[in-house]
Amino acid sequence: MKKNVFTPCPKTPNCVSSMEVNKDRFVASLVYQDSIEAARGRLIEVVNGFKRTRIEENSGQYIRASFTSFLFRFVDDVEFIFDDKEKQVHMKSASRSGSYDFGVNRRRCEAIRDKFQQ
């Protein structure tokens, strides 16, 4: 992340982001109506609800977590940037290794969105 913007996804199909213009890599951001503090708390609760997950960084308007797969122990990094002015949380999910993720990163972001909006 640089200046509240994610680094672009690589050309490999194992990354999605709400800041991507490429529709194949785009995923919608999270939207909230309450305070940023309440949204942060809810997001942390959602992320911690997943198995084999660890919050690596939690500072200001940025959260980074790692998700480890069960079988092969592949690690994916998921980043969140809060934009309180627009009341949204941008997210990016990317595999650390390999070139194809079988849609895991997209499904994870969609699951986070579903749980966040409950």
The 3-state secondary structure of 31-62, one letter per residue: ECCCCHHHHHHHHHHHHHCCCCEEEEEEECCE
List the structure tokens of 89: 């949380």
pLDDT at site 54? 97
Domain of residue 32 covers: 15-116
Query: Looking at the 3D structure of the chain, how many domains does it have?
Result: 1
- Looking at the predicted structure, is the pLDDT value of residue 94 above 90? yes
Q: How far apart are CA 118 and CA 67, in angstroms?
A: 21
In a domain, 63, yes or no: yes
4 contact partners, CB below 8 Å, separation of at least 6: 61, 62, 81, 83
Tens of pLDDT, residue by residue over 48-69, are 999 999 999 999 899 999 999 8
Q: What is the dihedral of CA 26, 28, 59, 2, to 10 degrees?
A: 30
Highest mean pLDDT among 5-14, 68-77, 108-117: 108-117
In a domain, 1, yes or no: no
In a domain, 73, yes or no: yes
Which sign does the torsion angle of CA 32, 38, 39, 45 carry?
negative
Lookup result for tokens 């990163």: 105
Tens of pLDDT, residue by residue over 97-107, are 888 888 999 99
In a domain, 7, yes or no: no
Q: How far apart are CA 76 and CA 15, in angstroms?
A: 9
Q: What is the CATH number of the domain that holds 35?
A: 3.30.310.80
- Looking at the predicted structure, is the pLDDT value of residue 1 above 70? no
Give this prediction's pTM: 0.93
In a domain, 57, yes or no: yes
